[in-house]
Amino acid sequence: MVQQVRRALRLGLLEKGDQLPTVKDVVASLAINPNTVLKAYRELERDGLVAARPGVGTFVTRTLASSSLAAHEPLRRDLAKWLAKARLAGLDDESIEDLFTNTFRAADEDIA
């Protein structure tokens, strides 16, 4: 659950001031233990991403989104073209993911 909220913050789906669903609503929709939701919300609060307001709810205090997602649009387009080429070359999703991950790690090692 923490990962899902972090992803939403990174993608700009949640913004500063947005209210997270109540624990009761999350429990009802996902059929998970209330303690799991509370633990996730506390972790997000410890990380400074949300703030609980007793009797009111839990609200986003900051996002993880890039300052300008639009600035990354050319990279996204290039990546989409690369994915299309990989599929045309006959690679399945798992092979594409492995190729990307291995290349990413190798590039990271070259920088270090």
Position 70 confidence tier, pLDDT thresholds 50, 70, 90: low
- Count of domains forming the chain: 2
**54 and 81 part of one domain:** no
**44 and 80 part of one domain:** no
| Range of lowest pLDDT (6-10, 26-30, 53-57, 82-86) | 6-10
**74 and 101 part of one domain:** yes
**55 and 8 part of one domain:** yes
Residue 37: closest CA among 60, 48, 21, 55: 21
**Domain extent at residue 40:** 2-60
Percent helix, percent strand, percent coil in the chain, to nearest 5:
60, 10, 30
Report how far Cα 49 is from the mean position of its chain's Cα atoms.
13
pLDDT(8) > 60:
yes
CATH code at position 15: 1.10.10.10
d(CA 93, CA 97): 6
pLDDT(112) > 60:
no
**56 and 32 part of one domain:** yes
**7 and 52 part of one domain:** yes
